[in-house]
A and B are shown apart, each in its own frame.
Chain A
Amino acid sequence: MSLDKKDFPRRTLLKAAGGGVAAAVATPFLGGPTMADPYKTATFHQLLLLSNEWCTIINDAAHRAADVLGLSYKATTFNLNDSIALTQAQAAAAAGERLFLTNSADGSSLRPISQMLGTVGGYLVNVGSNLPWSSPIEDGPAFTQGFIARENIGFYNSVKCMLNQAVKKFGPNLKILHITAAKGAFVDNLRSNAVHHAVSEFPGAKIVGSLPGNWNAEDGQKATEDLISRYGIPNCIVAQNDGELTGVLAALRGLGIRAGDQVLTCGIDGSTDILRAIKSGKVEATCFQSPAYHGIQATARLFDALNGYKPSAPERFVGFTGVLVTKANVDGVLKRYVDNKNLPFDPKLLSHVISGDKWDPQAPLVPIKYEDYYASAGIAKPAGWQPPAAYAQSIQDGEFDKVTQRYQAAYKLSLEDFDYPGFKG
């Protein structure tokens, strides 16, 4: 980790500092953004799917964080098609844009985008899927960070929580239905493995049937109806995301089956309607993975990259585990993350450049070991696969562990501090 001061010539710094003082003096009178401007700015471009709640929240949070950090902002929707994402990134780069946040559908656009950005001096953060056994390091220095939610842990926690409740309610022999996602998708594999892992810890529990819900409520509803037609009413239904879980609840309602009573359900992501369904007792658990954090953290990383922060190898692939939400804490989650007009995280505190030693990840952020992460999706390591040299070196010389410890020590504002009023951005 280093802040490369070569990017700040003295004259530029003085000029910027002068501008910063002027802005600081003028801001209270003008009511403008509170960010002084001693930093480089650029246009920040998001490539997202702007027709689902997850991406809409990422988009909104990143937009507001960009405002706080003095970055101008644009967004396009790529319809979960990485070839469209690449085309849009190329067009945006040609127009002079340099900072890109992607929510890649399958990881296929990441290398070409980062290579293109490498030639024009831009930066990329991805908060979506990655090609199995790939790494941001191999894709080039422009790919400043791959960010993941540790779903193998978060979803495992959610399913296990529901199964514990189900055993208390129905006894040890449980009949489970599993609404999977688009077959073959990396994240589907990852989440399915987490489900099987949790179920394996309950000897009497068995997944009797599964069908894909394709990440959306309509297909989740049909899959649930068809599975119940074949297997009868189960004790539990696991949905691969909260969008599908919305469909599961609709199917149960349509069939006159009482969710939360006759059938226990769980999901992952923490969509608003599912959080409210937990509050009303219809859903047992979900794992809230804060899309806002995805957006704000990524914006801060791009801002830092633009301003000379050089992440170490372990910092280029990081992730966090979300909050397990049950009826016991759902009010707090709604208070801080849903019914709150402020940003639930402080973008400035997330910036190494601005906050220096006071940097706080505000979530249990950790560097990710490639072998552990990809293996947890059940995808076999390709023959001859070798980890990137810089990453292997960081494991060998202990830097990986030091970064992990440093992140843990820096983590102050807890993800579960539900009294945090938020950042006015």
Chain B
Amino acid sequence: MAHKQTTTLDDFGAAPAADKRFRFVISREQRATWLPLVALAVLIGYFAFKQHAFVSGLNITVMGAQAGPLLLISLGATFVVLMGSIDLSVAAVATLSAALGAVLLQTFGMSPGLAFVATLVLGAVCGLVNALLSTVLRVPSFIATLASGSVFTGVMLHVLDGSALLVDNDAISEIANGQIIPMIPNVLLLAVLAWGALAVANSHSRFGRYIVAIGGGERVAQLSGIAVTRYKTYAFMLSSVFAAIGGYFLLARLGSATPSLGDGYLLDSIAAIVVGGTSLSGGVGGASRTILGVALITVLSNGLNVCGVSPFTQEIVKGVVIVIAVLTTIDRVSLQQIVK
């Protein structure tokens, strides 16, 4: 699959002259890669200058522990966004996975390994449900995953009976918080390994290239002989499986499953994917970039806290930074001209 992932009117020599005036010297692809890095460097520099504790070993470990679950949840969802759909059920799947894991560990005394496998199966089932709604029943992914997320939340509330469930086992905490490599929490190590694998799969496997093709133009991809339904199903399942893994590590990190465990992860994951440079319209970006978005969201959130910025101001700053990051990375002109 060629690197040009969207077909625009530019390709037919029809780009308005006015648009050309606003083209930057560097290409959109370069901007999407480098500007999040520049933004990240600026933020790190600013926070380090404002508060030296920001770059302490302890805080770097803390940020790693906070970023790990978000990266896991965002990685799988990136493929859904990349194919031009969206998965709004990731936070619900993560919470349901944590709830199931807590019940299996605490109530049934299951081993952490078996409980983890069970959450993987749960994730696959949730992804299959989303895929069926989206591909077989042809419900737009926005509605399908919003609705399925509500169903998963309801199931989770039944599982937890509306209350928090403590997992009274310090060993479970080690799964996420332990450090095989000093200063790098296990949850971050796993997330980075998964990121590496998915980034390679994204750019060097048939699955990854087909997902990009579907995002660039589903109809064209179908006419080219790509089994669109099958690959969309894979992407939804991948998204839910990684959400479930993220949920399991959230459980391990907190030591208890609460109904609000996944709150905030839906918006954070979408923000991380888009800020990283994956276009919501599909076909542009990929898992390799999502790590930048996750790093930016985590650094911003942690840095504002460590620098003692008022919680009210934090909300304003986060919103402004995300908008600026997206404005500087996505190609708004081609978004208007995409032929799909």
Contact = CB atoms under 8 A, between A and B. Distances in A.
A214 B170 CA distance: 25
B51 A230 contact: yes
A417 interface: no
B56 interface: yes
A222 B66 CA distance: 7
Most buried by B among A212, A217, A221, A229: A229
Given A55-B162, A246-B164, A254 B173 contact: yes
A247 B66 CA distance: 13
Contacts of A272: 163, 166
Contact of A52 (B65, B163, B253, B305): B163
A246 to B, nearest CB: 6
Nearest to B161: A56
A389 to B, nearest CB: 38
Contacts of A57: 163
Nearest to B305: A226
Contacts, number: 112
A231 B307 CA distance: 11
Given A52-B162, A226-B302, A230-B306, A218 B170 contact: no
A216 B177 CA distance: 20
B176 to A, nearest CB: 8
Interface string B133-161: 00000000000000000000000010001
Interface string A147-174: 0000000000000000000000000000
Interface string B84-100: 00000000000000000
A15 interface: no
B201 interface: no
Given A218-B261, A276-B166, A249 B255 contact: yes
Interface of B, helix, strand, loop or mixed by DSSP: helix
B163 A56 contact: yes
B58 A228 contact: yes
A112 to B, nearest CB: 27
A59 B162 CA distance: 11
A255 B58 contact: yes
Contacts of B168: 276
A211 B258 contact: no
A243 B58 contact: no
Given A217-B254, A229-B56, A246-B254, A253 B170 contact: yes
A131 interface: no
B243 to A, nearest CB: 16
Nearest to A280: B168
Interface in A115-153: none
A311 interface: no
Contact of A250 (B51, B254, B301): B254
Contacts of B260: 51-52, 216-218
A223 interface: yes
B196 interface: no
30 contacts: A51-B157, A52-B258, A53-B162, A53-B163, A183-B311, A183-B312, A211-B305, A216-B260, A216-B263, A217-B254, A217-B260, A218-B250, A218-B261, A221-B253, A225-B66, A229-B58, A230-B59, A230-B306, A246-B166, A246-B255, A249-B255, A250-B173, A250-B254, A253-B173, A254-B65, A254-B176, A254-B177, A255-B61, A271-B164, A276-B166
Interface of B: 51, 53-54, 56, 58-59, 61-62, 65-66, 157, 161-164, 166, 168, 170, 173, 176-177, 185, 250, 253-256, 258-261, 263-264, 301-302, 305-306, 308, 311-312
Interface of A: 50-53, 55-57, 59, 183, 209, 211-212, 216-218, 221-223, 225-231, 243, 246-247, 249-250, 253-255, 271-273, 276
